[in-house]
Amino acid sequence: MIKYTHDTALTEASRCLMCEDAPCHGGCPSSVNPKLFIRKIRFADLAGAAKMLRNANILAGSTAYICPCLSTCGSKCTAHELDRPINISALQRFVMDWERENGLAEINKAPANGRRIAVIGSGPAGLACSAWLAQSGYQVEIFERHDVAGGQLRLSIPEFRLPAKVIDHEVAFVKKLGVQIQLNSEIKDIKKLKHDGFDAVYLSPGLMGSRRLGIAGEEKKGVYQALDFFDPFEKGRKNQSWQKGSCRRRRRHGD
Ligand SMILES: Cc1cc2nc3c(=O)[nH]c(=O)nc-3n(C[C@H](O)[C@H](O)[C@H](O)COP(=O)(O)OP(=O)(O)OC[C@H]3O[C@@H](n4cnc5c(N)ncnc54)[C@H](O)[C@@H]3O)c2cc1C
């Protein structure tokens, strides 16, 4: 994974053609406009670039690591015709890593409207929804059944692909907006939340199940379903080294 310094980021940003009607913008499912944040890198306004990215995509830090950029914005990049596409995700990583090391971007918030929203699940859907609601003036509380926040970002995506410190920073950003996160809090009864005074409930429990192959021997000891294999919390296996070892094996096989 490419990691730019100030100099190499500037060199890459300088290759951007600053297209009038930049096609890369249309290629981003999160509505990020790469041209605009790349221009800010060129003018050494990294705080402005981080703010712009966060405004378009609350989880700009983690998506900079795991978004398949070459098939989204990168596939539309005009520089591709001349040489190779701009490495947009590496530039976004550069900006968001800078933000992590230099302080969180300030995001404008609407005044409190007195309404309370419960969010079930602290995966990317729950975190992003909570952040947007908090920005719009709602008082938001996330209920997460695990003892860590982040959902599959934390539980399944290996450290070498998405470092824990990046997820910690995303969670810190959401908390900074005033969102409270209750860990070890599995919700089994939504009606109780209404009874507890919440005006609405947002469900973002994810799809915490693996698709079975339906082949003989699948139930045998030592055969793991994909999510159980990654998730040391799911079955009470708190031994992180088991997970790290598995990730290293996967990496060696280029999986
Ligand atoms: C191995 C793996 C690799 C991946 N790699 C990528 C990638 O490179 N790029 C990419 O874009 N996507 C990737 N994904 C997909 C991505 O992680 C998911 O699309 C995303 O996490 C879904 O977000 P979510 O918030 O909907 O659900 P989740 O991330 O599953 O979060 C749901 C959360 O809800 C909690 N929860 C569930 N029920 C309750 C309850 N009753 N009470 C309280 N809490 C509850 C869960 O504990 C969990 O924390 C990958 C997924 C996996 C499994």
70: its two tokens: 């070459």
Report yes or no: 155 and 233 within 8 Å, Cβ to Cβ. Answer: yes
CA distance 30 to 52: 12
CA distance 247 to 255: 9
CA 255 to centroid of ligand 1, rounded, Å: 20
- pLDDT at position 106 over 80: no
Report yes or no: 210 and 125 within 8 Å, Cβ to Cβ. Answer: no
- Work out which ligand 1 atom sits closest to the CA atom of 63: 11
Which three-class secondary structure state does DSSP give residue 107? coil
What is the chain's mean pLDDT, rounded? Answer: 88
87: its two tokens: 């490495």
- Give the CATH fold of the 116-203 domain: FAD/NAD(P)-binding domain (3.50.50)
**Mutation test residue for ligand 1: of 92, 141, 154, 157, the one with most atoms within 8 Å of CB:** 157
- Give the CATH fold of the 6-102 domain: Fumarate Reductase Iron-sulfur Protein; Chain B, domain 2 (1.10.1060)
Find out whether the beta carbon of 147 lies less than 6 Å from any atom of ligand 1.
no
Find out whether the beta carbon of 146 lies less than 6 Å from any atom of ligand 1.
yes
- pLDDT at position 159 over 70: yes
> Does this chain's domain 6-102 share its CATH topology with 116-203?
no
Find out whether the beta carbon of 142 lies less than 6 Å from any atom of ligand 1.
no
Summarised one tens digit per residue, pLDDT across range 172-204 is: 999 999 999 999 999 999 999 999 999 999 999
Q: Which residue has the tokens 């800010």?
A: 40
Summarised one tens digit per residue, pLDDT across range 31-45 is: 899 999 999 999 999
CA distance 75 to 251: 26
Query: pTM of the full predicted structure?
Result: 0.88
CA 10 to centroid of ligand 1, rounded, Å: 34
CA distance 49 to 34: 10
Report yes or no: 208 and 228 within 8 Å, Cβ to Cβ. Answer: no
